[in-house]
A = this chain, B = another copy of it.
Amino acid sequence: MRADHRAVLLLRRVFSPGFFSVTFRAPALAREVSPGQFVMLEVAGRLRPYLRRAYSVADAEPDTGEVEFLVRTIGPGTAALEDLAEGSAASLLGPLGNGFSVAGLGSRSRVAVVAGGIGAAPFPLLFRAFAAAGIPADLYLGGRNAAELGFRSRFDGIVRGETVLSTDDGSLGEKGFVTDAFARRAAPDGPGYARVFACGPMPMFAALAKVVERFGVASEFSTEAAMGCGFGACLGCVIPGREKPFVISCLEGPILPPERIAWEKI
């Protein structure tokens, strides 16, 4: 059940400048969350930021009650998380949203995860699900430069398949967009993915949507929109849709198949 969990910050880990992780103690949340879901987080006593911010649950340990988030510093909300002293509390409203689906996948269906920059955030927990179900999965992790790949070490040991790194400037891994790195391998003569899971900025999605359509690969994107509430009350988070004008991303998403999104309207 969705609830507002008061959680204590246990640990902050910096991966690269502006890229860090925060681990809270939130047992009930850790038990209930599934991959791809998010929380609306509030650092108490502040008017800045005024609204909560959405964060995908990066990992959750039902046994220890620990819940981890991967964060990229951008503005007041993320700055508040960067300043939060270990041992002090925040409110985590969740779990929210629909989450990824691994239904119908098994040891014979290879899948791909495509992440751009902070888009790596939701995937550690998903790789746990892959492992549990014995689903072979490759990770494509891209960014503008090496610094934006800061979270790559977070996947050491949890990716059973191949890990492909790419940077726009070629400073680490293959040079170019992560969508191209994916396209080169996913091509017909490639591994033949049963499903693609992706998270990243909208331009990456738009490019990836074309690729998966061409190859006819089913896929699920973790979308991002400015969210006022996270649970369907404000209607602030809509994304232009295909079968209807707008998709309410916090309720019907954030995980959406690209064919439901009207990319030309974004």
Residues of A within 8 A of B (CB): 45-48, 79-80, 83, 85
The binding surface of chain A is classed by DSSP as: loop
With most chain B CB atoms within 10 A of its CB, the pick from A47, A79, A80 is A47
Can you report 8 A-B residue pairs in the complex whose CB atoms are below 8 A from each other?
Answer: A45-B48, A45-B79, A45-B83, A46-B46, A46-B48, A47-B47, A47-B48, A85-B85
Write out the residue numbers on chain B whose beta carbons fall within 8 Å of the beta carbon of A85.
85
Report the bound CA distance from A80 to B48 in whole Å.
14
Report the bound CA distance from A47 to B45 in whole Å.
10
3 closest pairs, A vs B, by CB? A47-B47, A47-B48, A85-B85
Write out the residue numbers on chain B whose beta carbons fall within 8 Å of the beta carbon of A45.
48, 79-80, 83
Report the bound CA distance from A170 to B30 in whole Å.
53
Report the bound CA distance from A83 to B85 in whole Å.
10
Report the bound CA distance from A48 to B49 in whole Å.
11
Residue of B nearest to A50 (CB): B47
Residue of B nearest to A86 (CB): B85
Report the bound CA distance from A45 to B85 in whole Å.
14
Distance (whole angstroms) from the CB of A246 to the closest CB of chain B:
32
Distance (whole angstroms) from the CB of A114 to the closest CB of chain B:
35
